[in-house]
């Protein structure tokens, strides 16, 4: 289902995306650049997200989309 939604969104132009009101936020699986542990976080995280294993910063808020300090493994559309 996530791949189908992603394909539909990619086929729309910018005007149609605004009218259809698709969510711009997702849940993302991020791999820690320090220890390799994977964690799921929100793409627009409003607080700092740390790795539970090594306490390395994984995501920090920017007022919109969070800045990700790691490798994005997968995105989950809802």
Measured distance CA(18)–CA(35) in Å, rounded: 39
pLDDT given for residue 11 in this prediction: 74
- Taking the C-alpha atoms of residue 30 and residue 39, their distance in angstroms, rounded to an integer, is 5
Report pLDDT for 78.
Answer: 67
- Mean model confidence pLDDT for the chain: 84
β-bridge partners, 24 = none
Taking residues 19-42, report their average pLDDT: 86
Straight-line distance from the first to the last Cα atom of the chain, in angstroms, rounded to the nearest whole number: 9
Residue 35: pLDDT over 80: yes
More confident: 59 or 3: 59
The superfamily in CATH containing domain 23-76 is Ribosomal protein S27 (2.20.25.100)
């Amino acid at each position: 289902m996530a791949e189908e939604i992603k394909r539909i969104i990619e086929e729309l132009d910018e005007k149609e995306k605004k009218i259809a009101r698709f969510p711009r936020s997702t849940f993302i699986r991020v791999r820690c650049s320090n220890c390799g542990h994977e964690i799921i976080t929100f793409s627009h995280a409003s607080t700092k997200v740390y790795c539970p294993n090594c306490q390395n910063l994984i995501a920090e808020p920017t007022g919109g989309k969070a800045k990700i300090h790691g490798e994005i493994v997968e995105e989950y559309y809802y």
